[in-house]
Structure 1
Amino acid sequence: MAACVLTRCLLTASLAGSLLLAGCDRQSGGITRVAAIGPTPRLVETVEAPLSPGDALVRANMAQGLVRFDERGQVVPGLAERWNVSDDGLSYIFRLQTGQWPDGRKISADEVARILRRQLRPASSNPLKDTLGAVSEIVPMTERVIEIRLSSPRPNLLQLLAQPEFGLVRASVGTGPFLPPTDDERATIPPAETKPGELLVTHRIHIPDAEDPVEKVRISGGNAKALVAAFADGDLDLVLGGTVADLPHAFREKMPRGALRFDPVAGLFGLAPTKRNDVIQDVEVRHLLSRAIDRPALVAGLRVGGLVPRATLLQAGLEGIGPPQQPDWVNQPVEDRRASLLAEANRLFRNGARPTFRIAVPDGPGGDYLLARLRYDWGPLGIKLDRAPSAASADLVWIDEVAPSSSPAWFLRRFRCEIATICVEEAEPLLADARTTLDSRQRASLFLEAARLMDDRQVFIPIAAPIRWSLVSGRVPGFAENPFARHTLVGLTDSSFGGGSR
Structure 2
Amino acid sequence: MPRLARSFKICLALTASLALAACSASGNEDRARVTVIDDAGTSINPVGIRLNYASATARSAVAKGLIGLDEQGRVVPSIAARWIVTDDGLSYIFRLNETKWEDGRQITAERIATLLTERFVELRTSRLGRDLRVVDEIISMTGRVIEIRLDSPHPNFLQLLAQPEMGLFRAGHGAGPMIEFDRAPFYQLAPLVLPDENEEENPEEEETAVEDDPRRVTLRSETASRAIARFDAGHIDVVLNGKFHHLPLIDESGINTNNLRLDPVAGLFGLRFIRGEGFWSVPQNREILSMAIDRPALLTSFPNVTAWKSRQKIVPEALDVAGINTRPDWASMTMQDRIAFARQHVSRWKASEGFVQPLSVSLPDAAGADILFIRIRADLRRVGLDARKVGLGAEADVLLIDELAPYDSPQWFLSRFSCDQTPVCLNDADSKISEADAATNLEIKARLYAESEQMLVNHYNYIPLGTPVRWSIVRPDQRGFAVNPRGWHPLNTLVGIPIS
Q: Calculate the TM-score normalised by the size of structure 1.
A: 0.84
Give 1:25's aligned amino acid. Answer: A
Measured after TM superposition, the shift of residue 214 of structure 1 is 5.4
Q: Corresponding residue for 1:11?
A: none
Distance 1:477 1:254, change over 3 A: farther
After TM superposition, list the pairs within 5 Å mapping 1:33-432 onto structure 2: 33-38=33-38, 39=41, 42-47=44-49, 49=50, 51-121=51-121, 124-181=124-181, 196-203=184-191, 215-275=215-275, 277-303=277-303, 304-318=305-319, 326-327=327-328, 334-349=335-350, 350-391=352-393, 393-432=395-434
Measured after TM superposition, the shift of residue 104 of structure 1 is 4.3
Measure the CA separation in 1 of the matches of 2:19 and 2:111. Answer: 40
Identity percentage of aligned residues? 36
Cα RMSD of the aligned pairs, angstroms, is 3.0
Give 1:269's aligned amino acid. Answer: F
Measured after TM superposition, the shift of residue 152 of structure 1 is 1.5
Do the aligned residues in 1 keep the contact of 2:418 with 2:430 (CA within 8 Å)?
yes
Distance 1:99 1:320, change over 3 A: farther
Measure the CA separation in 1 of the matches of 2:66 and 2:105. Answer: 18
Measure the CA separation in 1 of the matches of 2:332 and 2:376. Answer: 17
Q: Corresponding residue for 2:12?
A: none
Measure the CA separation in 1 of the matches of 2:134 and 2:183. Answer: 44
Measure the CA separation in 2 of the matches of 1:314 and 1:440. Answer: 17
Do the aligned residues in 2 keep the contact of 1:40 with 1:197 (CA within 8 Å)?
no
Give 1:199's aligned amino acid. Answer: Y
Measured after TM superposition, the shift of residue 319 of structure 1 is 7.6
Measure the CA separation in 2 of the matches of 1:147 and 1:91. Answer: 7
Measure the CA separation in 1 of the matches of 2:17 and 2:141. Answer: 50
Q: Corresponding residue for 2:9?
A: none
Give 1:436's aligned amino acid. Answer: A
Q: Corresponding residue for 2:456?
A: 454
Mean Cα displacement is larger for which, 423-432 or 314-323?
A: 314-323
Measure the CA separation in 2 of the matches of 1:41 and 1:95. Answer: 36
Measured after TM superposition, the shift of residue 242 of structure 1 is 0.8
Q: Corresponding residue for 1:189?
A: none
1:260-282 superposed Cα distances (whole Å, 9 cap, x missing partner):
11111111110111235333111
2:488 to 486, 489, 496: 486
Partner SS, residue 141 of structure 1: strand
1:31 aligns with 2:28: no
Measure the CA separation in 2 of the matches of 1:322 and 1:306. Answer: 28
Q: Corresponding residue for 1:188?
A: none
- Count of residue pairs brought into register by the alignment: 464
Distance 1:25 1:111, change over 3 A: same
1:72-104 superposed Cα distances (whole Å, 9 cap, x missing partner):
110001111221211221111112223333454
Q: Corresponding residue for 1:6?
A: none
Distance 1:486 1:367, change over 3 A: same
Mean Cα displacement is larger for which, 92-101 or 365-374?
A: 92-101
Do the aligned residues in 1 keep the contact of 2:270 with 2:466 (CA within 8 Å)?
yes
Do the aligned residues in 2 keep the contact of 1:315 with 1:324 (CA within 8 Å)?
no
Do the aligned residues in 2 keep the contact of 1:42 with 1:55 (CA within 8 Å)?
yes
Do the aligned residues in 2 keep the contact of 1:434 with 1:446 (CA within 8 Å)?
yes
Distance 1:234 1:16, change over 3 A: closer
Measure the CA separation in 2 of the matches of 1:170 and 1:19. Answer: 42
Higher helix share: 2
Structure possessing the higher relative contact order (Cα contacts under 8 Å, 6 or more residues apart): 2
Do the aligned residues in 2 keep the contact of 1:156 with 1:405 (CA within 8 Å)?
yes
Partner SS, residue 491 of structure 1: helix
Mean Cα displacement is larger for which, 128-137 or 276-285?
A: 276-285
Measure the CA separation in 1 of the matches of 2:19 and 2:174. Answer: 28
Q: Corresponding residue for 2:444?
A: 442
Measure the CA separation in 1 of the matches of 2:22 and 2:321. Answer: 47
Measured after TM superposition, the shift of residue 489 of structure 1 is 2.1
Do the aligned residues in 1 keep the contact of 2:326 with 2:457 (CA within 8 Å)?
no
Give 1:447's aligned amino acid. Answer: Y
Measure the CA separation in 2 of the matches of 1:55 and 1:341. Answer: 45
Partner SS, residue 302 of structure 1: coil
1:476 aligns with 2:478: yes
Do the aligned residues in 2 keep the contact of 1:248 with 1:365 (CA within 8 Å)?
yes
Do the aligned residues in 2 keep the contact of 1:73 with 1:484 (CA within 8 Å)?
yes
Measured after TM superposition, the shift of residue 330 of structure 1 is 5.1
Distance 1:348 1:37, change over 3 A: same
Q: Calculate the TM-score normalised by the size of structure 2.
A: 0.85
Give 1:318's aligned amino acid. Answer: L
Measured after TM superposition, the shift of residue 316 of structure 1 is 2.0
Measure the CA separation in 2 of the matches of 1:105 and 1:223. Answer: 39
Q: Corresponding residue for 2:10?
A: none
Measure the CA separation in 2 of the matches of 1:139 and 1:21. Answer: 55
Distance 1:19 1:120, change over 3 A: farther
Give 1:348's aligned amino acid. Answer: W
Give 2:490's aligned amino acid. Answer: T
Distance 1:16 1:449, change over 3 A: farther
Do the aligned residues in 2 keep the contact of 1:271 with 1:460 (CA within 8 Å)?
yes
Do the aligned residues in 2 keep the contact of 1:42 with 1:54 (CA within 8 Å)?
yes
Distance 1:89 1:17, change over 3 A: farther
